[in-house]
């Protein structure tokens, strides 16, 4: 929801600073900070000669997907998640660059360190966005939420040479929508007393959890705006969407969102995925790829001292239909072989045949392990020791030193190392 088109005129204007300053931010402790066109902006910062050119970051191979485009490129219709080949047709004169994740991670860490100087209550959502709860920082900084938002924008520009947009609001949901509507290079403050006035004119797609299909189902019965969902009788929504979804959307449409800003904490999931140069039917080859991805995922988990209980795989077929299958283990793991065995089982038993263009492995329900260590059975313990030895060797000699035996065979062709989450 980063588009401000299709909105009543003045909706966004009334939440900007006016002649009397910002709207009332007294009950607005939540900030959502979102870097504008993050990957593209970082690349341009590194290459000032690109500043006046359309710039697209993404997979540059035949199967590449756009992960970031600056606003000049967006003017030609280029969007995140669009195939790069399509972007090239829309904007052949743009500069196309492959992503350099190490650099984005470095910049992201610096920006988050800046946030943590303001408040310890920083909840990163990805490399380029985070929630901050500033309620405890107001007195120390002798500022207001809007003042802090403006200061963050100033410092990110001064210290990182990058532009971000900020939403200031009473809840996470409102703050996130506000930053999206503030883009590019803007800030909105939505007063606590205006939550529903802000939400109700928005399209239902603004509601967290409403994808294309749910939006269509709602539109079929004439529910197109958030106000329509708020006014709809709950039993009717339940029949339409099922109980859980109905109650979730109805509460959001009424402005209810009690989610706290949960600081720091590790990622909610860790995984890896690959897009192939050509489609692959061969299950043996796909299993070998799962082993490679499991190895990478498990190494990241161990690196961060995390384990997870749910292993999932994602499979995207040649026609772009995408499925995910998951299985929850009795005990959290960071062991390559356990993750691989579970992923391979999900592929063998729960994935229909077909030509595959992308495959991924992910581990969720993360924790730091601790007492669960005691429950690990002996065979897994043996695998863990093997993994730890491999980690050590990898640290000393580089990743190429250690490869599971099954990976020594034929390698499937691939585009880039990962397919990043599309950004706004
Ligand atoms: Mg962003």
Residues 273 and 213 grouped into a single domain: no
385 as an active site residue: the answer is: no
Confidence label for 6 from pLDDT (cuts 50, 70 and 90):
low
**How close is the Cα of 318 to the center of ligand 1, in Å?**
29
Going from the Cα of 86 to the center of ligand 1, the distance in angstroms, rounded, reads 22
Strand-pairing partners, residue 126, are: 129
Token couple for 233: 């009788």
397 in any annotated domain: yes
Residue 396's pLDDT band, with cuts at 50, 70 and 90, is low
Find the CATH number of the domain harbouring 218. 1.10.150.20
Would 171 be classed as within a structural domain? Answer: no
Domain range for residue 209? 200-253
pLDDT band at 418 (very low <50, low <70, confident <90, very high): very low
Domain's final residue, options 143, 165, 187: 165
Separation of alpha carbons 332 and 177, rounded Å: 35
Measured in angstroms, how far is the CA atom of residue 186 from the centroid of ligand 1?
A: 12
Between 390 and 135, the more confident residue is 135
Residues 60 and 84: beta-carbon distance below 8 Å: yes
Query: What is the pLDDT at residue 333?
Result: 93
The larger pLDDT score, comparing residue 139 to residue 269, is at 139
Q: 37-51, 177-191, 389-403: lowest mean pLDDT where?
A: 389-403
Q: Return the ∠ at Cα 11 (arms to 7 and 17), rounded to 5°.
A: 140
The string of pLDDT tens digits covering residues 53-82 is: 999 999 988 889 999 999 999 999 999 989
pLDDT tens string 330-361:
889 999 999 999 999 999 999 999 999 999 99
**DSSP assignment letter at 65:** B
| 18 and 139 part of one domain | yes
353-373 residue pLDDT tens:
999 999 999 998 888 754 333
Q: What percent of the chain has pLDDT over 90?
A: 67
CB 12 within 8 A of CB 4: yes
Residues 247 and 282 reside in one and the same domain: no
Q: Mark 397-421 as b/e (b = at least 16 C-beta within 10 Å).
A: eeeeebebeeeeeeebebbbebbbe
Q: For residues 250-270, give the mean pLDDT.
A: 83
What rounded mean pLDDT belongs to the chain? 87
Q: Which residues pair with 169 in a beta bridge?
A: 30
Give residue 366's region: left, alpha or beta (phi > 0; psi -120 to 50): beta
Count of domains in the chain? 3
Residues 274 and 241 in one domain: no
pLDDT at 263: 83
The verdict on 41 and 115 lying in the same domain is yes
pLDDT, tens digit (0-9, with 9 covering 90-100), for 203-259: 999 998 898 899 999 999 999 999 999 999 999 999 999 998 999 999 999 999 988
Same-domain check for residues 136 and 282: no
Least confident of 60-64, 100-104, 189-193, 389-393: 389-393
Same domain, 246 and 301: no
Interval between CA 338 and ligand 1 midpoint (Å) = 35
Bigger pLDDT: 420 vs 207: 207
| 206 and 106 within one domain | no
Q: How many A from CA of 188 to the centre of ligand 1?
A: 16
Statement: the pTM of the whole predicted model exceeds 0.95 = no
**What is the pLDDT, as a whole number, of residue 407?**
57
- pLDDT at residue 403 in the model: 55
User: Can you tell me the mean pLDDT for 17-22?
Assistant: 93
Instruction: Output the CA torsion sign for 282, 412, 366, 383.
Output: positive
The pair of three-digit structure tokens given for residue 83, joined into one six-digit string: 């195939």
Give, in order, the Cα–Cα distances in Å from 308 to each of 287, 305, 344, 418.
21, 11, 17, 21
**Mean pLDDT to the nearest integer, 12-18:** 94
Q: What's the pLDDT score for residue 102?
A: 84
Could you tell me if 127 and 82 lie in one domain? yes
Task: Check residue 275 and give its pLDDT.
Answer: 86
Query: Per the residue annotation, which of 43, 123, 129, 289 is the catalytic one?
Result: 129
Separation between Cα atoms, residue 207 and residue 224, nearest integer Å: 11
Residue 359, domain CATH: 3.30.1490.100
Tell me which of 46 and 265 has the higher pLDDT.
Answer: 46
128 annotated ligand-binding residue = yes
For 209, which DSSP code? T
Q: Residue 393: helix, strand or coil by DSSP?
A: helix
Name the nearest CA neighbour of 68 among 104, 33, 108, 107. Answer: 104
CATH number at residue 56: 3.30.70.270
């Amino acid at each position: 929801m980063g588009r401000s088109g299709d909105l009543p005129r003045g909706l966004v204007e009334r939440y900007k600073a006016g002649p009397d300053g910002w709207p009332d931010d007294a009950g607005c402790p939540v900030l959502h900070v979102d870097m504008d066109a993050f990957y593209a902006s970082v690349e341009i910062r590194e290459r000032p000669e690109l500043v006046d050119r359309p710039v697209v970051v993404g997979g540059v191979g035949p199967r590449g997907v756009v992960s970031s485009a600056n606003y000049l490129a967006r003017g030609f219709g280029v969007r995140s998640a669009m195939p790069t080949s399509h972007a090239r047709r829309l904007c052949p004169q743009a500069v196309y660059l492959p992503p350099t994740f190490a650099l984005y991670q470095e910049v992201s860490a610096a920006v988050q360190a800046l946030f943590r100087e303001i408040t310890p209550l920083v909840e990163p959502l990805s490399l380029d966005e985070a929630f901050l709860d500033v309620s405890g920082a107001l007195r120390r900084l002798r500022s207001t939420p809007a003042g802090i938002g403006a200061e963050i924008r100033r410092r990110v520009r001064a210290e990182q040479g990058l532009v971000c947009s900020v939403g200031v609001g009473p809840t996470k949901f409102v703050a996130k929508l506000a930053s999206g509507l503030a883009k590019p290079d803007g800030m909105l403050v939505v007063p606590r007393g205006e939550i529903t006035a802000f939400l109700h004119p928005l399209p239902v797609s603004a509601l967290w959890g409403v994808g294309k299909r749910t939006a269509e189902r709602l539109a079929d019965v004439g529910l197109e705006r958030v106000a329509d969902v708020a006014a709809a009788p709950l039993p009717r929504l339940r029949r339409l969407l099922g109980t859980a979804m109905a109650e979730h959307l109805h509460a959001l449409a009424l402005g209810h969102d009690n989610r706290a800003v949960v600081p720091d904490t590790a990622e909610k999931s860790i995984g890896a995925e690959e897009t192939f140069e050509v489609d692959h039917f061969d299950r043996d080859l796909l299993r070998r790829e799962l082993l490679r991805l499991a190895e990478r995922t498990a190494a990241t988990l161990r690196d961060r001292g995390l384990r997870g209980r749910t292993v999932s795989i994602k499979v995207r077929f040649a026609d772009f239909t995408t499925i995910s299958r998951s299985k929850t283990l009795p005990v959290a793991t960071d062991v390559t072989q356990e993750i691989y065995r579970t992923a391979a089982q999900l592929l063998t038993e729960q994935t229909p045949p077909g030509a595959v263009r992308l495959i991924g492995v992910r581990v969720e329900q993360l924790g730091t392990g601790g007492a669960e260590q005691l429950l690990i059975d002996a065979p897994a313990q043996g695998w863990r020791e093997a993994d730890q030895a491999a980690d050590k060797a990898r640290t000393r000699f580089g990743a190429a030193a250690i490869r599971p035996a099954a990976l020594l065979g034929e390698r499937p062709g691939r585009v880039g190392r990962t397919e990043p989450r599309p950004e706004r």
